[in-house]
Structure 1
Amino acid sequence: MASHLNLQSQEKKVGSEVMVRFSIKTYNEKMDLSGQPHLFALSRGYNTGKPLRKPCPNCFVIIMKTTDERDRMYFLLDGLWRMQIFRRQLVGSVIPFLRVNEFTRTIIKFWAYINENEERVTRLMDVFESVDKIEKYTESYMKLLGKYKDVAYSKVFDLDKLNL
């Protein structure tokens, strides 16, 4: 895929004047994304579509108009990735990948769907944000427990006394 591929997508919300615009491109390290709300999604492998806060090789960049739309897009991509929606669209036998056109079409369909019930989606986003905070806290707690184990073992196995 060429890194200059740029698809502009527009989707009207049913019964509203609100227009959602976003751009999806194949990520290139030379891109200047400063000042633009954006996120990334893996484009190759069986984790295709997984949303990311930081870029990696083989990913798409999704540029949104507002940070609220970016957060909503992250929520959407996380759900689609967890439900393995993008796996159905993978092509290639050695390293499966997703075409940017298929990725965009899928996002547009589901974007319209989640925006039909904004209140419910907003509540779910708040719940998932709380769950993410708990996950991060648990991860840091587990790292701390691991360090505690290391210190405890170093006290039990005093290497200075064993002359190794």
Structure 2
Amino acid sequence: MSNFKMITYRPEGVYKGPHFFILNKGLNSGKPLKKPCPNCFVISCNSESEKESLYWIVYSLHQGKQFQIALVGSVIPFIRKSDLIKIIADAQKVTSHKPEAIKRTVSSLLQLEQQEENYKRIQNTLKQLRQVLVHQLIKQ
């Protein structure tokens, strides 16, 4: 189990070492992010491998909608830092005995992410092609 630190993101802050961000407001609260946004926490880790493992645990929790139960607030839902830390720590305890399963799952998730990026590129190319075809029709 890793010892991570979680702090509230400040745009003027300098974050050194392995870290990633977690969205803390809205219906997507708990979503791990590679780049910061105004409403997020920063998770700092001791090593790059620890960061990767923790990132994918948080990703899995978010995809499994495990953070939904901890959302509070009537207009704009948000997740409390203490609740987020507890959910992540509990998930770490469960997954700490399965390092090979984590590696396999992370590998599969990375492949899916690459495939999703490929589909986005294809979709953008199709959109551009559609625009060219319509533009050619109008010019004639």
Class of the TM-score when normalised by the shorter of the 2 chains: over 0.9
Between Structure 1 and Structure 2, whose CA radius of gyration is higher? 1
Are residues 1:76 and 2:57 paired? yes
Which residue of structure 1 lines up, in the alignment, with residue 116 of structure 2?
135
Question: 1: distance between equivalents of 2:109 and 2:116?
Answer: 10
Structure 1 position 127, deviation (Å)? 0.9
- Selected match of 1:151 from 132, 135, 138: 132
Secondary structure in 2 aligned to 1:57?
coil
Of 88, 93, 103, the match for 2:69? 88
Q: Describe the superposition over 1:71-105 as per-residue Cα deviations: whole angstroms up to 9, x where unpaired.
A: 11111111111111111011111111111011001
Tell me the equivalent position of 1:21: 3
Q: Alpha carbon RMSD of aligned pairs, Å?
A: 1.1
Higher relative contact order (CA closer than 8 Å, sequence separation 6+) = 2
C-alpha distance in 2, partners of 1:135/1:68? 24
Amino acid at match of 1:148: L
Spell out structure 1 runs of 4+ moving beyond 3 A: none
Q: Separation in 1 of the partners of 2:106 and 2:86? A: 23
Other-structure match for 2:36: 55
How far apart, in 1, do the equivalents of 2:7 and 2:123 lie? 37
Superposition deviation, residue 52 in structure 1: 0.5
Output the CA distance in 2 between the equivalents of 1:95 and 1:132.
29
1: CA distance, partners of 2:108 / 2:73: 37
**Match 1:116 to one of 97, 120, 125:** 97
Higher helix proportion, which one? 2
Deviations along 1:100-120, one digit per CA (max 9) or x if unpaired, are 011001111101211211111
Q: Deviations over 1:42-79 (max 9, x none)?
A: 10111000010000011011011111111111111111
Aligned length: 140
- Distance in 1 separating the partners of 2:56 and 2:29: 15
The TM-score with structure 2 as length reference comes to 0.95
Q: Identify unmatched segments of 5+ residues in structure 2.
A: none
**TM-score for the superposition, normalised by structure 1:** 0.82
- From 15, 19, 29, the counterpart of 1:33: 15
Mark the runs of 5 or more structure 1 residues left unpaired by the alignment: 1-10, 12-19
